[in-house]
Structure 1
Amino acid sequence: MAGRALRDHIEAAILDAAATVLADRGPAVSMAEIAAAAGVARATLYRYFPNREALLEGLLAAASSDLLARIDDAELDTVAVPEALARLTRGFLTAGGKYAALMQPGGKTDKDAELDAQLSEPVRRLLARGVDEGALRSDLPVDLLFDMYTGLLEKALYAILRRTTGLEQAGAAVLTIFLDGARPA
């Protein structure tokens, strides 16, 4: 059991370092630089992740787990729609900042569609509940509300990554713009 715990610890350290280095320096970062940032030998990095694609898939799995845990922890069904959207926004922007490398050119993997499907369902349910409860506009389809909300999130995340705004300011902007534009007239 101790061997597995150590292996998990090393893998998590590599993924954390890779997320940071790739977000800071872009997709051109070498595997050697990632190994150095993680404090492991290149041979160790390659034992865990035999190539860049495997590393990106590991990052995608970590991002997926992190985001899904944040959505679950937000308990969206237990609070009013505006508060649920605030919790969701904070979760997406916080995790998105950590896994920014997946948003950069060369950072995508074939499993993005699976992650998108897992992450979109709770958002769509929340937006549909908002429409049903009268907290959000009913004259716009939920699919359009979803596209507008996620578009704002994406742009806010890019602003955070460019360091033109902070997480709290970006989150407040997303909520204000989305809710004030999505509330019923």
Structure 2
Amino acid sequence: MGKGEAMRDRTAAAIVDSAAAIMAEQGDAASMNRIAGAAGVSRATLYRYFPSREALLHAMATTSVEELAARIADANLEGIPVDQAVARLARGFIAVGNRYAALTRGGYERTGDHPDADALLTEPVRALFRRGIADGTLRAGLAPEVLTSLFSGLIRAALDMTAGGRVGVEEASAAVVTVFLDGTRA
């Protein structure tokens, strides 16, 4: 990677990070001017990197998928007990997702940018829940898909709480784990 390419990557990352922070705080009211200023670039520079708000949202979504996938891969979900794996997932999702709360609040759906998003993000969670059902940690009467939806709902609620400043990442994560596991234990 050349020096110019590395600089371009750093600038794009700074813009995405700034957009995530500003949009988590202000939601749809966040202006491109404010995002550019927070990133330390001009509005013209922001538009050279991301020609539209939609392009910026796609970049934020791609970055969040990649960060979440890395967290899931690093969590070693198969090598630890189900309750510990759920706790790692909750912390990871909330820590990363907190930066991208604007995407979850706005219901922004990733389109074809990451066709493997389900395999990277959702399938490891379903697999964990299947394992929990098989080993008796989780209720057999709840399908892994149902558990995944319930867990996702709790994560979204935790993201809303952390974005609003009512609680921190650790407190929100602990609440998700407690509510989820207490409600789904066998």
Aligned partner letter, 1:90: R
Aligned partner letter, 1:103: T
Partner of 2:141: 139
- Contact 1:93-1:157 at 8 Å conserved across structures: yes
* Aligned equivalents of 2:33, 2:133: Cα separation in 1: 50
Partner of 2:51: 50
**Partner SS, residue 27 of structure 1:** helix
Q: CA deviation at 1:109?
A: 4.5
Provide Cα deviations, 1:58-112, integer angstroms capped at 9, x if missing partner. Answer: 101111111111111111111111111111000000011001111233x625528
Aligned partner letter, 2:12: E
**Partner SS, residue 111 of structure 1:** coil
* Aligned equivalents of 1:122, 1:69: Cα separation in 2: 12
Partner of 1:108: 108
Matched, 1:3 2:4: yes
Matched ranges for 1:28-67 at <5 A: 28-67=29-68
Matched, 1:174 2:176: yes
TM-score by length of 2: 0.92
Unaligned segments of structure 1, at least 5 residues? none
Aligned partner letter, 2:139: R
* Aligned equivalents of 2:46, 2:74: Cα separation in 1: 32
Matched, 1:124 2:151: no
Unaligned segments of structure 2, at least 5 residues? none
Aligned partner letter, 2:19: A
Aligned partner letter, 1:79: I
* Aligned equivalents of 2:183, 2:16: Cα separation in 1: 38
Shift in alpha-carbon separation, 1:33–1:147, aligned structure 2, 3 A: same
Sequence identity (%) = 46
Partner of 1:68: 69
* Aligned equivalents of 1:104, 1:79: Cα separation in 2: 31
Q: CA deviation at 1:25?
A: 1.6
Partner of 1:18: 19
CA RMSD of aligned residues (A): 1.7
Count of aligned pairs = 183
Q: CA deviation at 1:148?
A: 1.6
* Aligned equivalents of 1:79, 1:36: Cα separation in 2: 44
**Partner SS, residue 29 of structure 2:** coil
Greater mean alpha carbon deviation, residues 150-159 or residues 56-65 = 150-159
Partner of 2:152: 150
Aligned partner letter, 1:119: L
- Contact 1:53-1:109 at 8 Å conserved across structures: no
- Contact 1:57-1:109 at 8 Å conserved across structures: no
